[in-house]
Structure 1
């Protein structure tokens, strides 16, 4: 199917989503809204040439949990909503995006003005209230998107909401796989890439599989830095499990070579006692 036609179908589906939210959400229960959101998100992934596979879903917490995930693309939101609809914390700029911004606002997204430090207290208070009320909130603690191959250090600030509300943290890992079983960077939305360029790259990279690995929840009680560190370890472990065996072997070999190179004396190093310069 031609790229232009696929993009038109996605736009039509976005407009349909606006119609559903505007005409049906006020007349249905909260649970039915979640079901409508999930069905719409699954269809969006299908139209984008992507299928969803969920791992370890038995660990999922459906009430009062702070979900934290690695962040690769704008489509991560639809992947997570296709798994388990949730509220998100997003940068304030998203609110201005056509169609998508309106939908995000209507679905309860909490918008963060990252350039204003004073906004952090408001966000923490609002997130804590949502968690105490039993809502599930999703944040991306890396603070930006990556190509998905490695994690950036997690910012601990947003974990304070779970600490203040005494609610668990649920790490989840997103991983995109191409038709050959290798990790795909086609969905990544990074650097100076525009939304349109990102969409074109994603559609050209299909068919894709979006994997969601649900990690075991972190119990409340720890302080925010400990929670951030434990969540990062959990997601790194899930990412390693989702990578193809061949990729893991290559990475292990590369790490071994790096360690071996680190042991080779450089100019100015003291030669080892059993080295070629030993007398």
Structure 2
């Protein structure tokens, strides 16, 4: 017997959620325009994590962690993940806060472009092959200075049902900084615990359509599966390092959710374990 289809969120609930999202976004504008830039990295991480968790809660998205998360702002760490949705950033930041590398087009987004720029995001122009060298230098410096940076090496989004080939260019920054690469796989599940494409921001899907699809879901779960950290010094090229990270993410995405030894933990569980 096939599982029942999850019900859709009533229209009044969607409107109420959207209003809360707008209020939450305005709160971010106030924070970033004010004291945020003067805070130390550790203080920024706390603010970023709280805001990300608040946004996910409004959308009814619960975070489940598999494996061992590397901490809130792990030093000299390049976080690499598959890319499904703009929600990926906030899901990752709810557990492991980092600065992201994003496509330059995001700068033109109203409000969001200004926010992510002033939150420390680095931007890459994918239409210019040489731009990767510039970004790699900035990434390497940030990592050497104790930063945690995050990239989506597929260089685009998918609907979450496939793992696209990785572009190895930005893995060079981890080699230059002699840093650590932390693979993490993202998977979205609906209220029935089945994989869902509702949050996917891929293909011809517009940002508004993507938001509407998320608002229509009564609840979702995003699984973050953290793999084994990869020391960049153990690899002779960025291509080998990229492939090793992709293999871990691919294995996590295909692993059955009921396998033993893959117990789910929430961010609250992680905080309790750290105490």
Contact map agreement 1:141 1:156 (CA 8 A) in 2: yes
> Deviation string for 1:73-101 (max 9, x for gaps)?
11101111111111000001111111211
Q: 1:59 Cα deviation (Å)?
A: 4.8
Contact map agreement 2:78 2:181 (CA 8 A) in 1: yes
Contact map agreement 1:59 1:215 (CA 8 A) in 2: no
Q: 1:126 Cα deviation (Å)?
A: 0.6
Residues 11, 244 of structure 1: CA spacing in aligned structure 2 closer, same or farther, 3 A cutoff? farther
Task: Name which structure has the greater RCO, CA cutoff 8 Å, separation 6+.
Answer: 2
Q: 2:174 aligns with which of 162, 174, 179?
A: 162
SS at match of 2:203: coil
Q: 1:242 Cα deviation (Å)?
A: 5.4
CA RMSD of aligned residues (A): 1.5
SS at match of 2:232: coil
Residues 164, 26 of structure 1: CA spacing in aligned structure 2 closer, same or farther, 3 A cutoff? closer
Provide the residue aligned with 1:189 in structure 2.
201
Q: Which segments of 5 or more consecutive residues in structure 2 lack a partner in the other structure?
A: 1-11, 260-275
Tell me, yes or no, if structure 1 residue 217 matches structure 2 residue 229.
Answer: yes
**Looking at CA atoms only, which structure, 1 or 2, has the larger radius of gyration?**
1
Contact map agreement 1:182 1:244 (CA 8 A) in 2: no
SS at match of 2:230: coil
Q: 1:28 Cα deviation (Å)?
A: 3.4
SS at match of 1:111: strand
C-alpha distance in 1, partners of 2:246/2:165?
Answer: 8
How many residue pairs get matched?
Answer: 245
C-alpha distance in 2, partners of 1:138/1:217?
Answer: 14
Tell me, yes or no, if structure 1 residue 6 matches structure 2 residue 20.
Answer: no
Structure holding more helix per residue: 1
* TM-score, normalised via structure 2 length: 0.85
C-alpha distance in 1, partners of 2:252/2:29?
Answer: 34
Contact map agreement 2:70 2:96 (CA 8 A) in 1: no
Contact map agreement 1:175 1:242 (CA 8 A) in 2: no
Provide the residue aligned with 1:239 in structure 2.
253
* TM-score, normalised via structure 1 length: 0.84
C-alpha distance in 1, partners of 2:155/2:218?
Answer: 27
Q: 1:205 Cα deviation (Å)?
A: 2.3
SS at match of 2:93: helix
Provide the residue aligned with 2:165 in structure 1.
153
SS at match of 2:128: coil
Residues 145, 244 of structure 1: CA spacing in aligned structure 2 closer, same or farther, 3 A cutoff? farther
